[in-house]
């Protein structure tokens, strides 16, 4: 299958590209090579490549940056996927687009499944939700995969705190926000199976155990046998411009019915992070 990957320099994209089976013909375009906010550029690139499937991993993912720059947020995170969906439709390609747990308001006390109603509380969540809606409107043959709290990309909070623990330095993480910590590889290896299922629609793909980053970090410290201390932080201490949902853990009521392996446990994810060195 000829596959186009957009946003190819990102953390999830790198993990995905490392796992695509070699029989696929993959064309990967970084942000510098294709700006999904530029409709003519997207139409031209897709027309030239003629992919059978597009995996859109482009996104403006700095949540506070979205709050400070709503114009870029809506351009990249709402119109970007809209443009990719329009281009996919023009060449008859199917589309996988990635969205976020931050489409939810965080008032829940149990994980959100695919039937839950989104109600974003920050610009990033609003822009990503609008992106989802545009994809659904333009192209029936799509899957939207909502992911959350990714670690293992190297640039994420948990990976950075692990580097500190390894250096014998103290680490810190937020204790009063709960999500679904998920090893990026566990998402990456399931994206194509979800797309190739042909069961168009929206899916949640996240680690099975709700936890704060602090809880995940404590578990990582214990499993790695590190001596340096771990400190809990409160969200308000950080004084960040964008509000974050208090609780945005995800679960799926659909994936068990598709031919997609269940998500591994948090401990398996943390052990994979420790093994990666």
Ligand X SMILES: NC(=O)c1ccc[n+]([C@@H]2O[C@H](COP(=O)([O-])OP(=O)(O)OC[C@H]3O[C@@H](n4cnc5c(N)ncnc54)[C@H](OP(=O)(O)O)[C@@H]3O)[C@@H](O)[C@H]2O)c1
Nearest-approach distance from CB 128 to ligand X, in angstroms: 6
Spell out where the chain has E strands. 2-6, 25-29, 53-56, 94-100, 142-147, 150-151, 171-174, 182-183, 201-204, 230-233
Which residue, 39 or 175, has its beta carbon nearer to ligand X? 39
- In eight-state DSSP terms, residue 143 is E
Number of residues that bind ligand X (CB under 6 A): 27
**Radius of gyration, alpha carbons of the chain:** 18
Which residues 144-203 are close enough to bind ligand X by CB under 6 A? 147-150
CA 17 – CA 8 distance, rounded (Å): 8
Interface with ligand X includes 245 (CB under 6 A)? no
Closer CB to ligand X, 63 or 230, in the complex: 63
CA atoms of 183 and 263, how far apart (whole Å): 10
The answer to whether 9 contacts ligand X (rule: CB under 6 A) is yes
Catalytic, 124? Answer: yes
Q: What is the DSSP string of 159-194?
A: HHHHHHHHTT--EEEESS-BB--EEHHHHHHHHHHH
Q: Which range touches ligand X (CB under 6 A), out of 54-62, 167-175, 254-262, 267-275?
A: 54-62
The nearest distance, CB 168 to ligand X, in angstroms, is: 27
Catalytic option among 124, 151, 203, 247: 124
Q: Which span (51-59, 170-178, 223-231, 248-256) binds ligand X, by CB under 6 A?
A: 51-59
- Token pair 């199976």: residue: 193
Query: Residue from 51, 80, 111, 208 that binds ligand X (CB under 6 A)?
Result: 80
Q: Which of residues 115-144 bind ligand X (CB under 6 A)?
A: 128
CB atoms within 10 A of CB 9: 15
Side-by-side strand order, sheet with 142-147? 25-29, 2-6, 53-56, 94-100, 142-147, 201-204
Q: Does 10 bind ligand X (CB under 6 A)?
A: yes
Least spacing, CB of residue 62 vs ligand X, in Å: 7
Q: According to CB under 6 A, which one of 3, 4, 5, 11 is a site residue for ligand X?
A: 11
Nearest CA to 61 out of 242, 247, 185 is that of 242
Query: Interface with ligand X by CB under 6 A: which residues?
Result: 6-7, 9-13, 31, 34-37, 57-61, 76, 80, 98, 100-101, 128, 147-150
Instruction: Give catalytic residues, as residue numbers.
Output: 124
């Amino acid at each position: 299958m000829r596959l186009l990957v957009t946003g190819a320099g990102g953390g999830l994209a790198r993990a995905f590209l490392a796992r695509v089976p070699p029989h696929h013909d993959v064309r990967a375009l970084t942000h510098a090579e294709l700006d999904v906010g530029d409709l003519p550029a997207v139409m031209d690139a897709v027309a030239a490549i003629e992919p059978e499937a597009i995996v859109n991993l482009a996104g403006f993912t700095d949540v506070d940056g979205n709050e400070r720059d709503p114009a870029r947020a809506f351009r990249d995170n709402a119109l970007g996927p809209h443009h990719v969906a329009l281009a996919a439709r023009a060449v008859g390609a199917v589309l996988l687009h990635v969205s976020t747990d931050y489409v939810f308001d965080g008032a829940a006390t149990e994980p959100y499944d695919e039937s839950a109603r989104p109600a974003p509380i920050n610009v990033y969540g609003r822009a990503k939700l609008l992106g989802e809606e545009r994809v659904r409107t333009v192209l029936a043959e799509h899957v939207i995969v909502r992911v959350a709290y990714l670690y293992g990309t190297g640039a994420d909070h948990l990976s950075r705190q692990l580097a500190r623990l390894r250096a014998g330095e103290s680490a810190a993480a937020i204790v009063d926000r709960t999500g679904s910590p998920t090893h990026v590889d566990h998402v990456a290896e399931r994206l194509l199976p979800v797309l190739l299922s042909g069961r168009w629609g929206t899916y949640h793909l996240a680690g099975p155990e709700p936890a704060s980053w602090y809880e995940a970090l404590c578990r990582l410290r214990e499993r790695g046998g590190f001596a340096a201390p771990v400190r809990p932080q409160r969200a308000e201490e950080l004084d960040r411009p964008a509000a974050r949902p208090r609780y945005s853990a995800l679960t799926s009521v659909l994936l068990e019915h598709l031919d997609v392996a269940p998500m591994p446990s948090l401990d398996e994810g943390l052990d994979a992070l420790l093994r990666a060195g």
